[in-house]
């Protein structure tokens, strides 16, 4: 199905969702131009080099490769020349303060055996949990993640009724922590499965048990390593967009969206009006309203929803290897409840934080010098509310070094040869994510999915939204889905105008 080339679309921002929607619209026959304020495409996905150490600067986990595969198939392009990836046997290695260690295998059977061996969990309980997770994902998650929740026809679909029938009340009215606490016999297993709330910047003590669908993605579907690192995802999408005729303007700072008689008509750049039939914002919804639409009331309304957590990241070039570490590693806090209380209630960082370490040189030796590793070290922190980040950074750094050193049995600080850091202020400045929130709004309430900004607005026709701050949420797989939903809305609206 193609539209006549008379339909012109402007996409503001070239994060993952911006790139995907540019490709999808181009395939539909629309003339697409992307305006990006940075010098390269990719949004939160970026990388940098420092003294022969290469670091992925942003997201570090790659799941659901079918999203990118589907896009290349739709575009009629073979994926291999653009993008290649490998399946990982271990999703993550978990280290607990009590000395226990767990390899979270991507094979459900191996994972169940490991949790039985290390934590005394009944393998059948683990398998049943993952089977329930899959059912919840297939019956409910896939519907809410693949459709607009803000269009009436979604709710009259038989599949939606079936999804509601399949959704037990416990998924909506119980917190993820309470749900997990009832399922597992060990506090360690509960903590492991509680961690999935952080996948969209939420707290397992507040977010609904619906989030128990996330483990399905890792342990039933698997996790993957994109060859070359996460940056290769952005590069592949950018090259595909160029192949499909999308035009990019970098260093292009959009001043505002032109509105006339309740419709988006184009954008203003350097005082010049550039007109289009469709405008898509891949910018944080808050900034879209505040800066591009000059609608401070609507921007304020978005802020009524709690912001997701942010991150404090240390990029360390480590001049030795630690064989006990994997691609993804988690060093757990001794008191998870307190850690999340600090993040979401006190808006501070707990003295004993959970530390995540990602090491791409385990898969890609070119990312570090010989016998060295590149560590991406991350701690979940609150969104920026004017905290003293210099002090927090110093404390967080000490806490991370102390925690990792205790597990590895030696002081790792002596091996840090190269160092860069990124805090919530830097994240906001780099990626225009308001307050440095990685996922826009949190999912710390039952209604979070429904109050998240839709992919369109009835207030301004021809204006659409995609990306992590709008439906269905943040993270790379959801950005692919967001772009797909938005492109389908645009396609349907164009068809309606024709008839």
Do residues 233 and 273 share a domain?
Answer: yes
CATH number at residue 3: 3.50.50.60
Domain end residue (candidates: 219, 247, 273): 219
pLDDT value, residue 158? 64
Query: Does 496 fall in a domain?
Result: yes
Do residues 371 and 288 share a domain?
Answer: no
The answer to whether residues 309 and 198 touch, using CB atoms and an 8 Å cutoff, is: yes
The C-alpha angle 226, 68, 86, rounded to 5 degrees, equals: 25
Q: In 10 A of CB 283, how many CB atoms?
A: 27
Per-chain mean pLDDT for the chain = 91
Q: What is the residue whose two structure tokens read 């609608």? A: 295
The answer to whether residues 462 and 277 touch, using CB atoms and an 8 Å cutoff, is: yes
Query: Does 91 fall in a domain?
Result: no
Average pLDDT over residues 182-202: 95
Higher pLDDT, 6 or 346: 346
Render pLDDT for 121-152 as a digit per residue (tens, 0 to 9). 999 999 999 999 998 888 876 667 766 666 65
Render pLDDT for 391-424 as a digit per residue (tens, 0 to 9). 999 999 999 999 999 999 999 999 999 999 999 9
List the structure tokens of 186. Answer: 């060990």
Provide the CA 127 distance to its chain's centre, in angstroms. Answer: 26
Do residues 197 and 116 share a domain?
Answer: yes
pLDDT score of 155 more than 80: no
Do residues 234 and 214 share a domain?
Answer: no
Render pLDDT for 12-24 as a digit per residue (tens, 0 to 9). 999 999 999 999 9
Query: Does 169 fall in a domain?
Result: yes
pTM: 0.93
Do residues 157 and 208 share a domain?
Answer: yes
Query: Does 13 fall in a domain?
Result: yes
Query: Does 257 fall in a domain?
Result: yes
As a whole number of angstroms, the distance between CA 413 and CA 397 comes to 10
As a whole number of angstroms, the distance between CA 123 and CA 385 comes to 44
Do residues 173 and 234 share a domain?
Answer: no
The answer to whether residues 246 and 10 touch, using CB atoms and an 8 Å cutoff, is: no
Number of domains in the chain: 3
Do residues 313 and 301 share a domain?
Answer: no
Query: Does 54 fall in a domain?
Result: no
The answer to whether residues 217 and 199 touch, using CB atoms and an 8 Å cutoff, is: no
End-to-end, the C-alpha distance of the chain in Å comes to: 15
Output the CA–CA distances (angstroms, integers) from residue 266 to 11, 224, 259, 456, in the order listed.
10, 39, 8, 16
Higher pLDDT, 32 or 137: 32
Query: Does 444 fall in a domain?
Result: no
Do residues 198 and 234 share a domain?
Answer: no
pLDDT value, residue 2? 46
Render pLDDT for 82-95 as a digit per residue (tens, 0 to 9). 999 999 999 999 99
Render pLDDT for 228-254 as a digit per residue (tens, 0 to 9). 999 999 999 999 999 999 999 999 999
Give residue 3's pLDDT band: very low, low, confident or very high (50, 70, 90). very low
Output the CA–CA distances (angstroms, integers) from residue 461 to 113, 354, 465, in the order listed.
54, 44, 12
Do residues 343 and 397 share a domain?
Answer: yes
Do residues 345 and 298 share a domain?
Answer: no
Higher pLDDT, 437 or 298: 298
Query: Does 441 fall in a domain?
Result: no
Do residues 172 and 186 share a domain?
Answer: yes
Helix (H) or strand (E) holding 110: helix 108-119
Give residue 496's pLDDT band: very low, low, confident or very high (50, 70, 90). confident
Domain end residue (candidates: 200, 219, 238): 219
Do residues 295 and 336 share a domain?
Answer: no
Domain of residue 193 covers: 109-219
Q: In 10 A of CB 171, how many CB atoms?
A: 20
Domain end residue (candidates: 403, 434, 465): 434
């Amino acid at each position: 199905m193609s539209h006549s080339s008379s339909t012109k679309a402007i996409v503001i921002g070239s994060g993952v969702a911006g790139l995907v929607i540019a490709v999808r619209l181009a395939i539909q026959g629309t003339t697409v131009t992307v305006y990006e304020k940075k010098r390269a495409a990719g949004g939160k996905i970026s990388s940098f080099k420092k003294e022969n150490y290469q670091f992925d600067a942003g997201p570090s986990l790659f799941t659901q490769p079918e999203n990118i595969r589907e896009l290349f198939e739709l575009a009629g392009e073979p994926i291999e020349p653009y993008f290649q990836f490998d399946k990982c046997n271990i999703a993550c290695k978990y280290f607990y303060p009590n000395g226990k260690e767990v390899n979270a295998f991507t094979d459900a059977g191996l994972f169940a055996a490991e949790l039985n061996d290390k934590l005394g969990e009944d393998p059948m309980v683990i398998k049943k949990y993952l089977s329930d997770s899959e059912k919840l994902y297939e019956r409910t998650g896939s519907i809410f993640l693949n459709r607009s929740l803000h269009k009436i026809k979604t709710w009259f679909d038989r599949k939606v009724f079936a999804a509601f029938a399949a959704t037990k009340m416990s998924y909506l009215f119980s917190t993820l922590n309470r749900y997990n606490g009832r399922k597992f016999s060990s506090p360690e297993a509960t903590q492991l499965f509680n961690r999935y709330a952080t996948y969209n910047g939420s707290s397992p003590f507040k977010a609904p048990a619906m989030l128990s669908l996330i483990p399905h993605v890792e342990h039933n579907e698997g996790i993957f390593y994109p060859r070359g690192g996460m940056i290769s995802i952005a590069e592949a999408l950018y090259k595909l967009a160029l192949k499909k005729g999308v035009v990019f303007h970098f260093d292009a700072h959009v001043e505002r969206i032109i509105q006339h008689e309740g419709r988006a008509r184009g954008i203003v750049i350097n005082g010049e009006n550039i007109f289009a039939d469709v405008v898509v914002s891949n910018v944080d919804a808050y900034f879209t309203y505040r800066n591009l639409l000059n609608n401070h009331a609507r921007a304020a309304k978005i802020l009524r929803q709690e912001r997701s957590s942010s991150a404090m990241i240390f990029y360390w070039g480590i001049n030795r290897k630690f064989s006990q570490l994997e691609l993804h590693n988690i060093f757990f806090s001794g008191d998870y409840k307190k850690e999340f209380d600090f993040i979401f209630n006190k808006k501070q960082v707990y003295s004993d934080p959970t530390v995540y370490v990602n090491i791409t040189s385990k898969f890609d030796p070119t990312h570090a010098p010989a016998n060295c590793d590149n560590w991406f070290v991350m701690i979940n922190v609150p969104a920026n509310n004017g905290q003293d980040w210099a002090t927090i950074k110093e404390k967080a750094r000490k806490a991370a070094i102390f925690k990792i050193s205790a597990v590895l049995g030696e002081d790792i600080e002596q091996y840090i040869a190269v160092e860069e850091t990124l805090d919530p202020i830097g994240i906001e400045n780099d990626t225009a994510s308001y307050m440095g929130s990685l996922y826009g709004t949190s999912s710390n309430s039952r209604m979070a999915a429904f109050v998240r900004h839709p992919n369109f607005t009835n207030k301004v026709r021809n204006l659409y939204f995609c990306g992590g701050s709008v439906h269905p949420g943040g993270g790379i797989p959801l950005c692919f889905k967001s772009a797909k939903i938005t492109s389908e809305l645009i396609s349907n609206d164009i068809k309606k105008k024709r008839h």
